[in-house]
Amino acid sequence: MVQVVEIYNIMIKGYKPYNPNQIYLFPPAPQDWLPKEHLVYFISDLVDHLDLTVIHKVYEKGIKGQPPYHPVLMTKILFYAYCRGVFS
């Protein structure tokens, strides 16, 4: 009798890099584009205080394909788009 042993190579793939304070080539920083009272800063602070563990758990289960964009980044984009009336 032959015993079959299956070994699964499971890796946590993580997310694509996300750094809200990233320096760009032109202009040097995102803060140079927007005034201090811009809506994007409010949304960023709001999302930073949300509990997104449910979304993180879903992403942790996936092991195939390219790493996804960070859920915090995607949530900020969705909130900003909805506030601006962009729903597609």
Per DSSP, the residues of the chain read: -PPP---------------TT---SSSSSGGGTS-TT-HHHHHHHHHHTS--HHHHHHHHH--SSSPPPPHHHHHHHHHHHHHTT---
Let me know if residue 79 belongs to a domain.
Answer: yes
Let me know if residue 10 belongs to a domain.
Answer: no
At 28-77, the pLDDT tens digits run: 677 888 898 999 999 999 999 999 999 988 887 777 778 888 899 999 99
pLDDT of 88 > 90? The answer is no
Let me know if residue 2 belongs to a domain.
Answer: no
Range of the domain at 67: 25-84
Number of domains observed in the structure of the chain:
1
Let me know if residue 13 belongs to a domain.
Answer: no
| pLDDT given at position 29 | 74
| pLDDT given at position 24 | 62
Let me know if residue 39 belongs to a domain.
Answer: yes
